[in-house]
């Protein structure tokens, strides 16, 4: 069923009785050309692009829980491509370009809203660093604008500009950045992939890997039986450690909990996404009116999808420092998701040392905005066995060879990225 305003009007007149499920809840078949483990945004996007771009439709996505129940529904919905390093920027800009055409491509309203991402700076040194990052972005053909305090004041007069400790001197604006409805992105990819013949298999946990005599991976063992596959792709960020361990892989990744928060619904207040440059705090406003915000990871290895109180306090202190009026707002909900924290803060889209097994992992905080390009590049890798031109830096062996992509420059310390 193709969605359109005409369809909506027709269904409304028929009292919405004829809507059909958005995708098929498939049962596993005996074998596929490609099995993708993980029905999050990245796995579903990869399946969709495998079918659409590469014409490979004998594809299954196996998901331990349900579609939209993992990190796809736990992030803070921000999309942006404001990176400084050459290994990152072309990739995230490719994601941004895909975001810009996503809804038409998927025929699904993902509520992509390019309302701008503003990174505040609070010192001369930070202004210089942001100017450098903005210039790097512009050299890659990406929009970036360095604003002074007056220009920021016009956009967001409610910020604490004259804070004694962290005065706001200006900001780096990416006007094309913004937000998207996170679980709608997942549902949209699931629906579009399913329509092209991809099997989406929920409540199907991978318990092991099928190996042939040479040791190559030729399928997965699951809670719903064995599924053979020509190739197996892992897109299970957050759970990459335990799943990869079933294949005997040790990876440069630790799992950590990241919390997010949403306030009660308010009238339109915040024009785009605003990030505090002197602490870790970022905030935007959902179309429903809630302020959506987050901060640092909890700091110690965790697989618990909930967070600790010291970080709640830290995030709220960051909010109060940059935007004191947030103190009048009541918190509605908070939750946690598990991040793959890689050793340089950047992701991995590559072959593994095991034949037939491919890896998409290590997304740290940045997985949501990467979703379309991650899927695109993972599909390219699975279909052609070569890295996509925007993802050539995301090699698994870069840690061994020293070609790290350390955007933040903190070294092999996952809880600091």
Partner 1 sequence: MRIPCPFCGSRDSREFVHRGDAAPIRPAGDDADAMFDYLYLRDNPAGQFEELWYHAQGCRNWLRVRRHTVSHAIESAEFARIGHAA
Min dist CB 415 to partner 1, Å, is 6
Cβ partners under 8 Å of residue 276, min gap 6: 120, 166, 282, 318, 319, 321, 322
Which parts of 101-192 are beta strand (E)?
117-121, 145-148, 170-174, 178-179
Q: Which stretch binds partner 1 (CB under 8 A): 49-57, 172-180, 189-197, 240-248?
A: 240-248
Q: Are 333 and 232 in contact (CB under 8 A)?
A: no
Residues 251, 370, 393, 405: which binds partner 1 (CB under 8 A)?
Answer: 251
For residue 352, state whether it binds partner 1 (rule: CB under 8 A). Answer: no
Residues 170, 219, 241, 356: which binds partner 1 (CB under 8 A)?
Answer: 241
The DSSP letter of residue 248 is T
How many residues does this entry show for the chain? 417
For residue 343, state whether it binds partner 1 (rule: CB under 8 A). Answer: yes
Cβ-based burial of 224 (10 A; exposed 0-12, middle 13-18, buried ≥19): middle
For residue 347, state whether it binds partner 1 (rule: CB under 8 A). Answer: no
For residue 114, state whether it binds partner 1 (rule: CB under 8 A). Answer: no
Min dist CB 86 to partner 1, Å, is 22
For residue 337, state whether it binds partner 1 (rule: CB under 8 A). Answer: no
For residue 414, state whether it binds partner 1 (rule: CB under 8 A). Answer: yes
For residue 299, state whether it binds partner 1 (rule: CB under 8 A). Answer: yes
* Tokens 């700076």, residue located: 121
Q: Which stretch binds partner 1 (CB under 8 A): 94-102, 200-208, 242-250, 364-372?
A: 242-250
Pick the closer one to partner 1 by CB: 198 or 349: 349
Beta-bridged to residue 233, according to DSSP, are 36, 358
- 387 φ, ψ to 5°? -75, 140
Cα–Cα dist 41/15, whole Å: 31
For residue 73, state whether it binds partner 1 (rule: CB under 8 A). Answer: no
Residues 2, 17, 250, 330: which binds partner 1 (CB under 8 A)?
Answer: 250
Pick the closer one to partner 1 by CB: 180 or 343: 343
For residue 413, state whether it binds partner 1 (rule: CB under 8 A). Answer: yes
Q: Are 62 and 220 in contact (CB under 8 A)?
A: yes
Residues 158, 161, 335, 399: which binds partner 1 (CB under 8 A)?
Answer: 399
How many angstroms from the chain centroid is the CA of residue 256? 15
Q: Are 209 and 247 in contact (CB under 8 A)?
A: yes
Pick the closer one to partner 1 by CB: 27 or 304: 304
Q: Choose among 74, 46, 378: nearest CA to 200.
A: 46
Beta-bridged to residue 340, according to DSSP, are 255
Q: Are 40 and 237 in contact (CB under 8 A)?
A: yes
Q: Are 34 and 233 in contact (CB under 8 A)?
A: yes
Q: Which stretch binds partner 1 (CB under 8 A): 85-93, 247-255, 272-280, 350-358?
A: 247-255
For residue 357, state whether it binds partner 1 (rule: CB under 8 A). Answer: no
What are 177's two structure tokens? Answer: 């950045």
For residue 296, state whether it binds partner 1 (rule: CB under 8 A). Answer: no
Pick the closer one to partner 1 by CB: 116 or 252: 252
Interaction mask 127-166, partner 1, x per CB under 8 A: ----------------------------------------
Residues in touch with partner 1 (CB under 8 A): 239-242, 245, 250-255, 299-304, 308, 310, 343, 399-400, 412-415
């Amino acid at each position: 069923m193709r969605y359109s305003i005409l369809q909506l009007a027709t269904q409304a007149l028929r009292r919405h009785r004829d809507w059909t499920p958005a995708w098929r809840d498939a049962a596993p078949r005996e074998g596929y050309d490609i099995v993708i483990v993980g029905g999050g945004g990245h796995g579903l996007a990869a399946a969709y692009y495998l079918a659409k771009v590469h014409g490979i439709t004998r594809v299954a996505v196996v998901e331990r829980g349900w579609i939209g129940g993992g990190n796809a529904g736990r992030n803070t919905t921000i999309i942006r491509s404001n990176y400084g390093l050459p290994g990152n920027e072309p990739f995230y800009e490719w994601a941004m370009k895909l975001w810009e055409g996503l809804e038409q491509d998927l025929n699904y309203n993902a509520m992509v809203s390019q309302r701008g991402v503003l990174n505040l700076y609070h010192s001369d040194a930070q202004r210089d660093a942001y100017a450098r990052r903005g210039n790097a972005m512009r050299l890659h053909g990406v929009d970036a604008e360095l604003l002074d305090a007056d220009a920021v004041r016009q956009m967001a007069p409610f910020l604490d500009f004259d804070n004694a400790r962290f005065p706001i001197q200006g900001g780096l604006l990416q006007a094309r950045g913004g937000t998207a409805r996170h679980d709608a992105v997942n549902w949209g990819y699931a629906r579009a992939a399913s329509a092209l013949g991809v099997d989406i298999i929920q409540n199907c946990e991978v318990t092991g890997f099928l190996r042939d005599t040479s040791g190559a991976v030729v399928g997965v063992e699951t809670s719903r039986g064995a599924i053979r596959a020509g190739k197996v792709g892992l897109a299970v960020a957050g759970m990459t450690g335990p799943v990869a361990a079933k294949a005997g892989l040790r990876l440069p990744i630790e799992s950590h909990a990241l919390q997010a928060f949403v306030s009660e619904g308010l009238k339109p207040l915040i024009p785009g996404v605003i990030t505090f440059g002197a602490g870790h705090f970022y905030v935007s406003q959902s179309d429903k009116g809630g302020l959506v915000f987050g901060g640092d990871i909890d700091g110690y290895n965790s697989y618990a999808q909930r967070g600790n109180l010291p970080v709640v306090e830290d995030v709220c202190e960051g909010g109060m420092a940059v935007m004191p009026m947030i103190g009048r707002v009541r918190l509605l909900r908070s939750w946690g998701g598990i991040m793959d924290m890689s050793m340089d803060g950047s992701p991995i889209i590559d072959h593994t040392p095991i034949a037939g097994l491919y890896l998409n992992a290590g997304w740290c905080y940045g997985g949501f905005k990467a979703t379309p390009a991650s899927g695109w590049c993972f599909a390219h890798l699975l279909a052609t066995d070569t890295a996509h031109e925007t993802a050539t830096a995301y090699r698994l062996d870069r840690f061994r060879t020293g070609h790290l992509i350390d955007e933040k420059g903190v070294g092999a310390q996952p809880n600091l990225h």
